[in-house]
A = this chain, B = another copy of it.
Amino acid sequence: MVKVTILGGGNLANHLISVFLKTEGILLQQVFNRSLHKIKKFEGQTEITDNLDSIRKSDLYVICVSDSYIETLANKISNLDGLVVHTSGAMSLDILTRHNRKGVFYPLQTFTKDKNVTFENIPFCLEANKESDLEVLKNIASKISKKVYAIDSNQRKKLHIAAVFVNNFVNHLYQVGEDICISNNIPFEILHPLIIETANKLSDLSPREAQTGPAKRNDQKTIAAHKEDLSTDLKELYSLLTEAISKTETHGNKL
């Protein structure tokens, strides 16, 4: 039985607490958060506390707070023995300066409050400064997910950039699509099946193989007609993405 302590009360912390509570082989023995009310609902299922001094000995301490607070919180628990990990895609392992045994336990997914999460298919990106601790993390992650990867800090940084492109930036393009629909009295739901299929295609085809449309076909007539219809900001975005697709067609991989 691995004894685990979670520090944090946000979205991800809540999802991790829920899954750890129901996973065999894991004993979630304590949850700490500065505001007790955010973890109040777990009272009775695990010990909850807002007092760092009352944190007990555990095998694994999972720091699950916003990026800017990780270092401060880690330093406050530098007296504790055991493996200390954070859950951030953007922060290096080395941010945990005062701990001898440290690691990263990063589930690569976008978490929505109040929306149930099935961890089974969420990739866990793991790192530790000791090989034996990487094994500890792999063991725990594989209890809740089928997808477990060893990813070092440099790779994780790149992965985080890639995630910004395929999540935040993609979501912004969805929003552009919605804005265009709203302005023209078109229900945005018309585009949902296309959006889902575009994402699903990746299980069969690489994005390069899956690409279609006026930029790929170099259909200048359609491109010009589209630009005419767009506001200045959107025209700039349209042009840049169209050029980027054309360059890919001409030069292949551009990194």
Check if A164 sits within 8 Å of B213, measured CB to CB.
yes
A206 closest partner in B (C-beta): B178
Closest CB-CB distance, A133 to chain B, in whole Å?
Answer: 21
Which B residue's beta carbon lies closest to that of A210?
Answer: B171
- Chain B residue with the shortest CB-CB distance to A236: B240
Answer yes or no: A96 CB below 8 A from chain B CBs: no
Per assembly, the copies of the chain total: 2
Most B CB within 10 A of own CB, among A163, A164, A214, A222? A164
Query: Is the Cβ of B202 less than 8 Å from the Cβ of A192?
Result: yes
Does more than half of chain A's interface fall in helix, strand or loop, or is it mixed? helix
A182-B253, A244-B237 known; A171 vs B211 contact (CB < 8 Å):
yes
Residue on B nearest A117 in the bound complex, by CB: B197
A110-152 interface with B by 8 A CB criterion: 110, 112, 115, 121-123, 125, 147, 149, 151
Contact (Cβ within 8 A) A180 B165: yes
The reply to whether the CB of A54 lies closer than 8 angstroms to some CB of chain B is no
Contacts A125-B190, A166-B173 known; A229 to B158 CB distance under 8 Å?
yes
Size of interface on A: residues with Cβ below 8 Å to B: 96
What residues of B have a CB within 8 angstroms of the CB of A165 in the complex?
Answer: 173, 176-177, 180, 238
A193 to B109, Cβ gap below 8 A?
A: yes
Q: Which residues of A contact B (CB under 8 A)?
A: 67, 90, 108-110, 112, 115, 121-123, 125, 147, 149, 151, 154-155, 157-208, 210-216, 219, 222, 225-226, 229-231, 233-234, 236-238, 240-241, 244-245, 247-248, 253-255
Chain B residue at smallest Cβ distance from A247: B233
Chain B residues, CB < 8 A from A196: 199-200
Residues of B within 8 A of A177 (CB): 162-163, 165-166, 207
Instruction: Report B-chain residues with C-beta under 8 Å of the C-beta of A206.
Output: 175, 178, 188
Contact among B122, B178, B182, B198 with A110 in the assembled complex (CB-CB below 8 Å): B198
Told that A165-B180, A166-B177 touch, could you supply 8 new A-B pairs with CB distance under 8 A? Answer: A121-B193, A122-B193, A157-B225, A164-B226, A179-B253, A179-B255, A182-B253, A233-B254
Q: How far is the CA of A151 from the CA of B197 in the complex (A)?
A: 21
User: Are B122 and A201 neighbours in the complex by a CB distance under 8 Å?
Assistant: no
Complex interface: chain B residues within 8 A of A67 (CB): 219, 222
Specify the chain B residue showing the minimal Cβ separation from A209.
B112
A37 shortest CB reach to chain B, Å:
23
Which listed residue (B174, B215, B241) contacts A202, Cβ 8 A? Answer: B174
